[in-house]
Amino acid sequence: MINLQPYSNPNYFMILLAALLPIMIGLYFGRRLKIYEALFTFSFLVLTFGGDHWHQGVALIIYTIYQVGLTMGFERYRRTKNQTSIFVSTVLLSILPLVIVKFTPLFPNDHSFNIGFLGISYLTFKTVQVIMELRDGTIKEISWQQYLQFLLFFPTISSGPIDRYRRFIKDYDHVPDRKTYLADVDQAVFYLFQGFLYKYILGYIFGTLLLPNVSQAALSQRYALGGTGISWYLLAYMYVYSMYLFFDFAGYSLFAVSISYFMGIKTPMNFNKPFLAHNIKEFWNRWHMTLSFWFRDFIFMRFTFWVMKHHWVKNRVRMSQLAYLVNFLVMGFWHGITWYYIVYGLFHAAAIILNDYWLRYKKKHADQIPHNKWTEGLAIFATFNIVCFSFLIFSGFLNQLWF
């Protein structure tokens, strides 16, 4: 049985583009071939989760039935009632599978059926978003067919970008006119090749050619500087890993966006020149954007409203600091339950809180603080290095170096 991992090799792209052709011709002539699209999605799900990954396929099916049932149930309930306890339990039930998957590595001796599969996080982001919007009333009703299309939208299933239900359905129900569609396709081709450049050339140079070498060099210096392992090679590792992380993930995201555009769905972009950010706050508006916006809307904002409603914290500044801390801690835990992901979350929370102090100070003393090309350059340089340092924590390399 054939198994193909998304965007992993030239064959995959050839099969994918060939299968996309009917959809593209349809859209070119102003029609969306919904049945064909459903079959297309199904076949690629089988390719990704079939073969020797079949157990993931089974997990995906069970998970999908569970989530669709949960969401449709909540939608039915929400038409007439709106109790907070039901809402909270629905959200908890919705994230339960993900929580179990995240805790599984802590019990290496437990060999019962693994309910995880590639992309479970991203599906959970989507379901939680829909449940929350149902609660808010911004989504009134959903049909299970459309919900399935949204959940299992093939190009983004494995690692995002995380789309929003209403935005997705608007594109899905709407066929662009020929001129608009051709502009989309033009963009799609550009993104596809940008993705090739990022993932298969730059990502390869940093990840496959350089990373193992600097990694080995840095590990050989593990007794340097009084046993801390801090060496020039470690610094090199930090930068090489950061570049690899960016080009690999940005490349992957470009593929997902590109394939969506071919299908007439404008999946949002994930990266916007993140290393040119002037500060940490701006960085999170440029890096893995769909994730950070999801966290902003559904963790940061929700938490803020919730605390304000109960008048637990009066001071607005303290309030946002607390929300940042919760926001990034949750993100850290989501990455995985290891010390370095959690420290990574704490580090970014601290960075963004300090950054806030600085921004407020700057605002107050705007007349005394110079602002020109050089200070901007300095800001970009400082932000870049702070971010790279956080990625060094994130990489888990320190874990390898020290323990």
Does residue 141 belong to the site contacting another protein (CB under 8 A)? no
Which residue number, 174 or 178, has a Cβ lying nearer to another protein? 178
Which residue number, 188 or 277, has a Cβ lying nearer to another protein? 188
Structural tokens at position 357: 């102090």
**Do residues 93 and 70 make contact, with C-beta atoms less than 8 angstroms apart?**
yes
How big is the site for another protein, counted in residues (CB under 8 A)?
9
Instruction: State in angstroms the smallest separation of the CB of 186 from another protein.
Output: 5
Does residue 223 belong to the site contacting another protein (CB under 8 A)? yes
Residue 335 known to be catalytic: yes
Alpha helical stretches, state H, 105-231? 120-136, 144-151, 165-173, 178-195, 203-204, 211-220, 224-227
Which residue number, 141 or 186, has a Cβ lying nearer to another protein? 186
* Catalytic site residue from 335, 348, 365, 371: 335
Which residue number, 240 or 392, has a Cβ lying nearer to another protein? 240
Instruction: State in angstroms the smallest separation of the CB of 185 from another protein.
Output: 6
Does residue 306 belong to the site contacting another protein (CB under 8 A)? no
Centroid of chain to Cα 355: 23
3-state secondary structure of 263: coil
**Do residues 346 and 355 make contact, with C-beta atoms less than 8 angstroms apart?**
no
Rule CB under 8 A: which of 164-193 touch another protein?
Answer: 178, 182, 185-186, 189, 193
Which conformational region is residue 337 in: left (phi greater than 0), alpha (psi within -120 to 50 degrees), or beta? beta
CA 69, CA 55: separation in Å to the nearest integer? 21
Does residue 35 belong to the site contacting another protein (CB under 8 A)? no
Structural tokens at position 140: 């009134």
Task: State which H helix or E strand residue 240 sits in.
Answer: helix 232-262
Give, as one character, the DSSP assignment of residue 199. Answer: I
Does residue 100 belong to the site contacting another protein (CB under 8 A)? no
Does residue 276 belong to the site contacting another protein (CB under 8 A)? no
Structural tokens at position 321: 């600091």
Instruction: State in angstroms the smallest separation of the CB of 206 from another protein.
Output: 16
Instruction: State in angstroms the smallest separation of the CB of 318 from another protein.
Output: 47
Does residue 216 belong to the site contacting another protein (CB under 8 A)? no
Q: Is the dihedral of CA 135, 137, 140, 142 positive or negative?
A: negative
CA 148, CA 140: separation in Å to the nearest integer? 17
CA 271, CA 317: separation in Å to the nearest integer? 28
Does residue 82 belong to the site contacting another protein (CB under 8 A)? no
Structural tokens at position 50: 């079939």
Does residue 351 belong to the site contacting another protein (CB under 8 A)? no
Does residue 220 belong to the site contacting another protein (CB under 8 A)? yes
Instruction: State in angstroms the smallest separation of the CB of 391 from another protein.
Output: 25
Does residue 5 belong to the site contacting another protein (CB under 8 A)? no
Does residue 2 belong to the site contacting another protein (CB under 8 A)? yes
Instruction: State in angstroms the smallest separation of the CB of 28 from another protein.
Output: 8
**Do residues 26 and 32 make contact, with C-beta atoms less than 8 angstroms apart?**
yes
Structural tokens at position 350: 């601290």
Which residue number, 205 or 236, has a Cβ lying nearer to another protein? 205
Catalytic residue ranges: 335
Interface contacts to another protein, rule CB under 8 A: 2, 178, 182, 185-186, 189, 193, 220, 223
